[in-house]
Amino acid sequence: MTNSAGKSQKSDVAQLRTAIPRAKQGDSPCAACQVRHLAVCSALEDSELNLLDKIVRFVELEAGDSVFDEGEPALNVYNLTAGTVKLYKLLPDGRRQVTGFLSAGDFLGLAASDDYIFSAESVTPASLCKFSRADLDLLLEQAPQLERRLLGMARYELAEAQDQMLLLGRKTAKERIASFLLMLSDRAVCRGEADNPVLIPMSRNDIGDYLGLTTETVSRTLTRLRTGGVISLETDRKITLVERETLQDISEGF
């Protein structure tokens, strides 16, 4: 689940590469953050950013690295600033449910209990801002408006979770795939990227574990949508939405 020593050596290289633009000249790295407007941090005034700078640590991950595992003490929280991270839960026999994919600006680790209740692992190379929960709690005292921002984010996540329950409980494979592609497209727009073609950072297996399907069903369903002319596969990981309206109708169950 976590990485071997051989792989994590490369991570150091990545750290060197990105450390320079992130904290140049020793002035506030948070003030220079490209995704601040997307993150919890948007709740802080420019003058308060130094509070963040004091407690933040930067983490660089390569694809497949573990951020934390379910059941560990929830000591840290994270802001994802680049890349994609997946959250998942496991059953004893290895069945896996991916409960979400995170991208730039998303917050991670806000657990209800003392331990993490899911595992988090990078899907692509990723950059995170790491805060200890103790530091975060102190910060919340100084900047109570952060609490409102966190509540807003939690509500949004709840809304997404309810949509996902509808998908998992009642939608067909075709409807699930259509919903998934549209979600990726919409989220790219939120990050200021193009809505089409859709870039798919995760494997068919990860998609299956997110949608409650097998790899094979994901693949077959994509093939059928392609054959039907609704989408077009540029590569495995790059899909053009040819008939967005049709896809929308399929995703909503019409």
Footprint of a second copy (CB under 8 A) = 87, 89, 91-93, 95-97, 99, 110-113, 117-118, 144, 147-148, 150-152, 154-159, 161-166, 168-171, 209-212, 252-254
197: preceding bond cis by omega (within 30 degrees): yes
User: By CB under 7 A, which span of 15-23, 103-111, 183-191, 229-237 interacts with DNA?
Assistant: 229-237
User: By CB under 7 A, which span of 18-26, 129-137, 141-149, 201-209 interacts with DNA?
Assistant: 201-209
Determine the residue type at 56: V
Using CB distances below 5 to 8 A depending on partner kind, what does residue 244 bind out of a second copy, DNA, none? none
x/- map, 171-200, DNA, by CB under 7 A: -xxx--------------------------
Using CB distances below 5 to 8 A depending on partner kind, what does residue 215 bind out of a second copy, DNA, none? DNA
d(CA 84, CA 126): 6
Min dist CB 105 to a second copy, Å, is 16
Nearer to DNA, 77 or 198 (CB): 198
